[in-house]
Amino acid sequence: MDTSSHRRFKVFLRCEHAERLLSDATERKLCRAEIWRLRLHLAYCRACRRVRRQLDFLRRAAHQLNDQLETGDWSVPGLSDEARARIKRSLEHAD
């Protein structure tokens, strides 16, 4: 069995290359060839699709945090009103 036949097709990225492109994509614009090869890779590679989802999630979380920093909205989703009131009280009585 000839496992080296893959090498002839440069369009097929290796996972480590695909992952690098995915993380590059968060910092710079990929060129057409890179996007095309990445898409092709994601079409058949489940592991890298999962990596992409994780990166998407992190990017969204970072955006959300950025928005909060800009708007000064420090309300934390998931923090109950009760817990918030308790924090507020302890801040008021801090001095």
Of how many residues is the chain composed?
Answer: 95
> Between residues 11 and 91, which has the closer beta carbon with respect to Zn ion?
11
Q: How far is the CB of 34 from Zn ion (least distance, A)?
A: 14
Q: Which of 15, 35, 65, 76 binds Zn ion (CB under 5 A)?
A: 15
> Between residues 15 and 65, which has the closer beta carbon with respect to Zn ion?
15
| Type of residue numbered 32 | R
Tell me if 11 sits within 8 A of 40, measured CB to CB.
Answer: yes
Q: Which of residues 39-58 bind Zn ion (CB under 5 A)?
A: 45, 48
Counting beta carbons within 10 angstroms of the beta carbon of residue 34, is it exposed (0 to 12), middle (13 to 18) or buried (19 or more)? middle
Residues making contact with Zn ion (CB under 5 A) = 15, 18, 45, 48
